[in-house]
Chain A
Amino acid sequence: MSEKVLLVDDEQDFLEAMETRMKDRGMEVSTTTSAADALKKVEEGAFDAVVLDLMMPEMDGLEVLKAMKEKRPELQIILLTGYATVQKGVEAMKFGAMDFIEKPADLKVLTEKIHQASAQKMVLVEKKIQEKVKKLIQEKGW
């Protein structure tokens, strides 16, 4: 199964190269340079992972992360940034980021994280379904 990935970065040249390489590896990739558009895409599509730059124009990456997690709690978000401080990393994890990778990244490492993200998301979705079924059984008294 191919993973559905959303790449969010304000550098168009970076997105284009990354998109080609990920597609060559069998992933289904969407890209955007805008935080607002990224939030819209997350609302509309079911992604296995989001690779998000921490420094986005007009909206801080952590704010984007928070908003994405509010919309889709099961979404796995990997922060990829050139602006890495321990403090930012800790904050990102607190807001629910799956991982924090520094630019320039090793695509092998990133691909591995995306596989992990996809598996993790599946576990969360299954858990959610099980909870819903359990609740329904209890409500109906079956």
Chain B
Amino acid sequence: MTMNWNWELLSETGLQFFGEMSASISHELKNVMAIINENAGLLEDLTVMAEKGMPIDPERLKIQASRIMKQIRRGDDIVKGMNRFAHSVDEPLRQAELNDTLGLMCTLSGRFASMRGVTLELEPASAQISIVTNPFFLQNLLWLCLDFAMSVTGAIKKVVLKAEKIETGAKICFSKLQELGRKEPGPGSFPGEREAALLQALKARLEIQKESGELHLLFPAQAER
């Protein structure tokens, strides 16, 4: 079955996805380091002032310390996400919990969303929804859909994501896409070749609900090896 996959396109889109995410993560970490750097510099400034006989305000120290700790936590979350993302290529097929995967994608795409002034909202499902699939292809497909979804939010500037269990497997819904119906088909239109290759590899299906402004991704409970 995998012989029919468009490996060249899958590799190309996968590498591009990996590159985009890595660049965004490195940018986020640089920002974290820049904030820690400035707050550590402020502590140093306070020490210099104290050496010159000016009293140190404990409240100011407390603020600096809490700002540094906040960035350490932020950096830790980024690195954890990066680690999970990097390990998604470990196995070609494994069980993936969709709420978790959507959460990870929201974290990884956060910077792209904020650059476009878009908010990503994850509506958590009440129960765990797991499918057996290729985790990297799944993340790649989710990113392509999310990237497109962010371009058709209209004035709402929000994408709501939700995973649901269905009889044949699972469904991921991207909603609040106000301008979905207004997008003209043409070069670079959605879904393109990359999405098609990933849908085939994941044995998934994409439904575009123009009237309700929703994209639905339908996955089987178990993809083929």
Contact = CB atoms under 8 A, between A and B. Distances in A.
| SS class, residues of chain A in contact with chain B | loop
A82 B27 contact: yes
Given A13-B67, A58-B115, A103 B41 contact: no
Contacts of A13: 35, 39, 67, 70-71
A103 B42 contact: no
A102 B67 CA distance: 21
B67 A55 contact: no
B15 interface: no
B115 A104 contact: no
B27 A107 contact: no
Interface stretch (A18-26, A62-70, A128-136): A18-26
B83 interface: no
Contacts of A55: 27, 115
| SS class, residues of chain B in contact with chain A | helix
Given A13-B67, A17-B42, A83 B37 contact: no
Given A55-B115, A57-B115, A14 B30 contact: no
A14 B114 CA distance: 17
Nearest to B111: A55
A14 B33 CA distance: 10
A104 B34 contact: yes
Contacts of A28: none
A11 interface: yes
Contacts of A24: 45
Contacts of B34: 11, 14, 82, 103-105
A18 to B, nearest CB: 5
Contact of A104 (B23, B26, B37, B70): B37
Contact of A83 (B27, B39, B42, B116): B27
Contacts of A107: 38, 41
Contacts of B39: 13, 17
Interface string A46-67: 0000000001111000000000
Contacts, number: 63
Contacts of B38: 14, 17-18, 21, 104, 107
A38 to B, nearest CB: 15
A10 interface: yes
B61 to A, nearest CB: 13
A102 to B, nearest CB: 8
Nearest to A10: B114
A107 B34 CA distance: 11
A109 to B, nearest CB: 12
B192 interface: no
Contacts of A18: 38
B31 interface: yes
A141 to B, nearest CB: 56
Given A17-B41, A55-B27, A82-B26, 4 more contacts: A17-B67, A83-B30, A103-B31, A104-B33
29 contacts: A10-B114, A13-B35, A13-B71, A14-B31, A14-B35, A17-B38, A18-B38, A21-B42, A21-B45, A55-B115, A56-B115, A57-B114, A57-B117, A58-B115, A58-B116, A82-B27, A82-B29, A82-B34, A83-B23, A83-B30, A102-B30, A103-B30, A103-B31, A103-B34, A103-B37, A104-B30, A104-B34, A104-B36, A104-B37
